[in-house]
Structures are given as structure tokens and as C-alpha cells.
Amino acid sequence: MKSKPCGLTKRIDRHKNPRPNRFMKPRYNLLNIILLAQPMRDTSLTANAPSTWQCGRYVLDTSRPLVMGILNLTPDSFSDGGQFIEPELAVQRALQMIADGADIIDIGGESTRPNAPKVSCCEELCRILPVIDALMDCGVPISVDTCKPYVMRETLKLGVDIINDIGGFNNPVSIETVADSNCGLCVMHMQGTPQTMQDNPHYDDVVAEVAKFLAQQVQRLSLAGVAHNRVCLDAGFGFGKSLAHNHALMRGLHELQGEYTLPMLVGVSRKRMIGAITGRDAPAERISGSITAALWALNNGAHIVRVHDVRETVDAIRIWDFLNTP
């Protein structure tokens, strides 16, 4: 079974990588990060982490925290929709995040917020290909956030290093598309679709059910020839989960790793769950809450955090590591 091309026949013009000589000023100067009052399990972030994650041209060291910077090339993403839809602005934003300490740049051309409209392969590729092309020599792995096999195939032709699939490679064509490459894979759990996922999500045991799905997908990938060191796992916070479900998953990160103890990715940056806890309605006001959650996750089983605010997150991680160094 093969996916059909969407009619994109003309190669999009290449965009030169602009000089990284102008960097955006951070919106917030977070001088103090107040951690959750609950005691931490370990004083060393990413304790007991798998040693490496194979991601295309790169082998990433997962014994230290990794920060994945979010680059949304969409007009309707929940936090920063429309800000970086122009390729030159998007490239500048990516270079700024790298300068701020991002280990990975995750590029998305389709919003996956609740009730987001679907986007065609053609539209998604038109948004992301010029930016990918310009960033291929930026010095960090390039990840593509997509659930479409055709988009996966076309971006792999450009040499991207990671495919981040919110569908968890539940489509057999997606597995077929990535199996013979050497790219890293982010396997995420989602109940329903972006259009339906928050319509009264229900689980009997959310940690057990998400863990079972992730283990099944790892097994399916393994049967297709995908080595375990190419795979990381994502519980899919906010993707068909209530606040109670998200809370249970955060506290069950170690259980989600399964028998292979694969790297765990946590993405809660600026999400509704942060707003529900803090009372902050605007996504841009959820930065300190997002950083607190990222630190908690890294100290309780996560190895990678996917964030909008790279500089502030990296600063917080550095302070945490320094204060816990004897």
C-alpha cells in the first residue's frame, strides 16, 4: 500500500541561510524559577537515561537533557500561529533558538491544536520545504512534525533527521516510509484526531493504556526493521487527555518507557494544562509554568523537552544542574 502524491510537481525555490547576526530579544527575563513543592526523585536530570538516540546524521547524547525548539510555520497554531509563516522569518527564528541552546529544531506545517482544520500535503510541503532546505546545515538535527506518509517521504529526500508523528506511526504506510531510513522517530500517543481528541476523552487506566499503545508501536516498528536506538516515546500531553489524564501521565513517565527504556519526550509548553493549573489564559503568559513542568519532567523520567521558549528553558536547566553538582 503506497500513498499517492498530492500533485506537488514543482520544486520550491531554495532559500539561502540568512546570516545569524540579528537575534530576537527574549520576551521575559526569568530570574527565579520556583519549582513544584513536591520532592524530586533524583537530583540529576535524566537519571538512568538511555545513552544515545540515533537521528539521521546525528547521534544525540540522552544522558543529558535535550531541548527541542518548536518552529510552527502555520497561520493557526495555538501559541504562535502566523508569526513565522514567512520562510526568512522562520529561518531567523530557528537560528535564534539554536543560539539559545536548542539541540533539535522541530518544524511543523500543520496545526494540531484541538479542532484545527486539516491541511493538504501540498500546502504542508509548501510551508516547510524552503525552511528545511535553508536549515539543513544549521548544525543540529532537523525534525519534521507530520503524520502524512507523503510529507515524510518528501522531507526525508531532503535529509531531515527526525520524523515526529502525532499519530504514533499508526499508519502502516508511515512505517513503510521511514523503515529504510536512518532518521530518528518520535512515537506519540493520541486518542482520536485533532478535530475530535478533546471531546470527552476517556480511559480506564490512562498510564497503562498509553504505555500499551507505545509498546505496540515500538514492536511494529521493530518488525519493520527499525532499530530501537532510533525511537523515542511521547505520551501526547493534551492530545485526547483531560487535566487529570495529563497529571497521571506526568507521574507515570518511568512506566511509559517500557521494557526497552527508550528516551521519553515531553511536550507541555504553553499548553492548556499549564493554563488550567496557573489560571493563565493567554499562551504567552504560561512560560514560567511551562518551564517548571519541563524541569519536573526531566527529573522524573523525561530526556527531551519540546518547548517554545528555548533560552529560558536552557537557562533553568543549567541552573538546576549547577545547584545539584557537589
Enumerate the active-site residues: 271, 306
What three-state secondary structure class fits 246? helix
Beta bridge partners of 58: 55
Give the Cα separation of 315 and 302 in Å (integer).
18
**What is the CB neighbour count within 10 angstroms for residue 321?**
15
- Grid cell of 133 as nine digits: 532546505
Q: Contact at 8 Å (CB) between 49 and 303?
A: yes
Beta strands in 229-294 (DSSP E): 231-234, 264-266
- Grid cell of 90 as nine digits: 522562520
3-state secondary structure 85-145: CCHHHHHHHHHHHHHCCCCEEEEECCCCCCCCCCCCHHHHHHHHHHHHHHHCCCCCCEEEE
